[in-house]
Structure 1
Amino acid sequence: MLLRVWRRFTAWRRGRPFWAGLFVAVGALIILFPPYANLKFGDMVISIQTLGGVSALLIGALLVICAVALWVAPKFRLAAGIVTVLLSLVALVVTNLGGFLFGTLFSLLGGALAVAWTDAPKKQKKPKGGAEPATETTQRVQPT
């Protein structure tokens, strides 16, 4: 049964930009975490609940929506990828260096993977032996 579940998951994963969505989701969580984490050093509590926290909430939520859109509706991968790249660049400026650079890097990588992903089947490579004759001929034009 476990093997059957794994095969179904693998088939589902191959039909969509899974890794792009995963990187975007990880980047979103990294951007969301620091403003709402209260760090304690002895009796002192450090909290970053400022305008950067509100921006991190908004940008992180939009990045999570983009990650879910990449998994659920792969036909929107180009739009979600472009929005992800733009949001991660905005997060770099607005939210604590975009999750201390790691959130921005993960989101940028996920956005780039989403834009580059395609579900078209791979073309078969032709053998190097030259067994098939060339079907197209190219004509060189001399400059005048």
Structure 2
Amino acid sequence: MPPHTLVVRITEREPIASVKVGKTFELVDPAGVIIATSTKQPAGYPLVDPKGAGLDGKVFRSTAEVLLSLPDQLRKTVTSVTASTADDVTLTLTTGEHVVWGSADSSDRKAQLLAGLIKDHKARNPTQSVVYDVSAPDNGIIRTK
């Protein structure tokens, strides 16, 4: 006769982004599970626009993977993420700059590359508005707007 023990493990869901649905904002975790709903955008979480794709599809999973790959300091500077396919993720930073990310492939390398490009740009010409392109992690590009 087996022991009469029940083990329960609780895993708290950690929000990663918000998604606008109609007039409300849904705070979601990396799996696309809705944690909370609000009439105002939750502070500190980037707004993800999967361009009509659901939270259970490849597009949202790709954006979540990109956000998870960013170091905390860099993730805090992301105000929004857009993607119409899993391969065209684009970030908008608090500075107004855009980051062409592409697919979630090699996201850790892309995050390191982005941090280097931002540092380099700040050292050279911090007032010039630019677009960072890390879609090819072996060849980062800084384009002026």
TM bin (shorter chain): under 0.3
TM superposition score normalised by structure 1 = 0.24
User: Which structure dedicates a bigger proportion of its chain to strand?
Assistant: 2
Point out the structure with max Rg over C-alpha: 1
Structure with larger RCO (C-alpha < 8 A, sep 6+):
1
TM superposition score normalised by structure 2 = 0.24
User: Which structure dedicates a bigger proportion of its chain to helix?
Assistant: 1
